[in-house]
Structure formats: structure tokens, C-alpha cells
Amino acid sequence: MLCVAALGSVMSSTGVVAIFVPVAIAVSKRLDASPRQVLMPLSFAGLISGMLTLIATAPNLVVNAELARHGLDGFGFFAPTPFGLVVLALGIVYMLLVRRWIGDAQPHAGRAARRTIADLMDAYALADVPRRVQVGEASELAGKTLLELDLPGRHGLIILAIERGPFWRRVLLAAKPKSRLAAQDVLTVQVLPAASAEPELWASLGLEEVDFSPEEYAQQARQVGIAELMVPPNSATSGRRVRDLDFPGKYGLTVIGVRA
């Protein structure tokens, strides 16, 4: 809590403190603490930050401009700092005294736990990490779009992401129907149960498998994005095959699992 208050107080604008709100909530969940015990000091820090420098808040600048307009000496850049430091110290002491009363008895009771990427993979029987393969120079995939290749239907492969460029500045691209593959592209591939044996499949398509750890996949999934969606009973998609819905073509989404 002290770190949060001190950090927020040196910000030049209270708006900047808002950046730390999602981080504060995530930290409170990881520590199983009440979000109030983090967000309240953060709010105090945002308010007190306006008292530390001349440019920390708009009213300081307005008053300084009016003084200069009337021919009077304006404020120095650190003129409010002595007062702000006193208020900051009082705010920290106040937060230390009242923190036990601003928390919940059961911090996260009644809140749905946010599912992690690992949780989703387990729930949809995707425990095996997707494969990472590189398109060879002589591969039949090079120069063709994913729509033309129809890899899920022909070979039981779902392309999740495409990495392109040299290793020192490789770009991660979302796999879309119109995405055209090129030699040396690195593909993140989910292998469906109906697919043939992987070594023979890679050789037939001109692909070479690349090492891919669970940690690398989790990081990549955060960049590309992965989410769980619920189909309501009255949905137009209910009862239809995933392939017929054309999620990639219409919405740019790739379905990697279905759970009843």
C-alpha cells in the first residue's frame, strides 16, 4: 500500500494513475486481498499528486496564469511541493490506520474467478500444447491463402497465429482466411484428433516442427487473444456445425474447441 501511494503521488496527472487500476485489481486477486485496500490508497495518491508540482493539476496552472496576467510573480515549479509532501505523509498515516476497516471480510467471495489460459485448455481438452511449425521453401502452402488451403477440412489442422520476419523483429499475425502464407513463416497449429500422424503430416506439407513451450504459447495467446463464449438457447448458431458458420470469414475468429 505504501508503494502504491508513493508511486501515484509523483505522477504529473491524476489521469495517469488510472493506468494502475487494472494492475491493482490483479495484484489484489493474486494476494487474495480486498481490492478496496489497494484502490483507496491509489485514489488518495491521485488526488495528492496535484499538490506536488505546478503542472500536476490544471487549477495550479490556471492560478499561475492569472497571477502572471495581473503582473504578479507566479509560482515556481516546486512551489506546492512542501505542502504536498505534508499532505502525502498524513495520507499515508491515515491509510495505515483505516486499512483494516476498508477491506472485505471475504475479499473475493461471490465473484466469479477469472479463468486463465491454462484453465481453458484443460476445460476444452487442449492439454497438449499446439505445435509450432515453419513453412519450408518447397512447401505447397507457400503462396496460398488459408481459405484456399482449407487445412482444418483436409488435414485436421487449425492455424492459430502466423509469425513472420527475422527472429530479431518477428511480427505476430492473426490467422485470417485471406492470410497468405509465405516460405519461412512460423505457424502455431492446433492438431485435431482426426489428423494423421504428425511426422508424416509435416513431411507431406513441407513443414518443419519448431520447439514450443507452454510458457511461450501462453504468452502468444495473450497477444493474439483467446476467450470463452457461451451460445444461448435461442441463438441462430444453435444446432449448426462450426464449419458452416464461417467464423473466420465473417468475424475473423478461429474456433479451437467446443464444450457441451
Per the DSSP assignment, residues forming a β-bridge with 133 are 187, 209
Given 67, 101, 135, which residue is the final one in a domain?
101
Question: Does 144 lie in the same domain as 180?
Answer: yes
Query: Mean of the per-residue pLDDT values for the chain?
Result: 75
Mean pLDDT across the stretch 21-31?
75
What pTM does this model have?
A: 0.49
| Across 98-125, average pLDDT | 62
Q: Dump pLDDT digits (tens) for 225-244.
A: 677 778 887 887 777 777 77
Range of the domain at 56: 2-101
Q: What distance in Å separates the CA atoms of residue 259 and residue 116, rounded to the nearest whole number?
A: 17
Single out the residue of 185, 175, 194 nearest to residue 141, CA to CA.
Answer: 185
Q: Which three cell numbers stand for residue 168?
A: 530479431
Question: Is 190 within a domain?
Answer: yes
Residues 93 and 127 in one domain: no
- Whether residue 83 lies inside any domain: the answer is yes
**What integer pLDDT is reported at residue 9 of this predicted model?**
37
The answer on pLDDT for 3 being more than 50 is no
Domain total in the chain: 2
